[in-house]
Amino acid sequence: MSNRLLSLLTEIERALVASEPAPDGGTWDTLRLINFAQGLARLTISVKSAAHVTSAQGSILLQSFTLADGSECLKANLGWQGVEESATYAVYAQAHTDWPSEASQIAAKWLGGRQSEVKVPALDEGQPTDAVLEAAS
């Protein structure tokens, strides 16, 4: 599952750039931290302005773990700079899981929270992925 952790993090980063290539007239500036042993990855997201001033925007923390039934799960915790609340989304590894689509949806939810500054409520972890993401829409 550790390869899935890194690939999902990469797909989320790509989706951010594809969705908003010039945030606030600048460029995305990201920092990745990955601990494969603990199943954790963090994408710290900033925007670098044309004047080379960097402003923190928030982060996406991914956690990979095995559920009690032996199935795999990746949990994404979305946080925004200056917003106390965060949003949590679970992606369950199943044969039909479309990982690039899941990454795009996570990136879109993070961008939506950043742009609207609306506090997205944390959702029940037991919900299927589609229901979790629809509930946050």
Residue 62's pLDDT band, with cuts at 50, 70 and 90, is very high
Contact 76, 61 (CB under 8 A): yes
Q: Is the pLDDT of residue 11 over 50?
A: yes
Length of the chain: 137
Task: Please give the average per-residue pLDDT across 38-63, as a whole number.
Answer: 93
Q: How far is CA 33 from CA 8, 24, 26, 61, in A?
A: 13, 25, 23, 9
* Mean pLDDT across the chain: 83
Q: State pTM to two decimals.
A: 0.78
- Per-residue pLDDT of 24-41, as tens digits, reads 889 999 999 999 999 999
Q: How far is CA 67 from CA 27, 47, 70, 96, in A?
A: 38, 36, 5, 18
Residue 125's pLDDT band, with cuts at 50, 70 and 90, is very low
Residue 122's pLDDT band, with cuts at 50, 70 and 90, is very low
The pLDDT value given to residue 22: 87
Residues in CB range of 80: below 8 A, 6 or more apart: 57, 58, 86, 110, 113, 114, 117
End-to-end CA distance of the chain: 28
Half-sphere exposure of 4 (CA within 13 A, CB side): 20
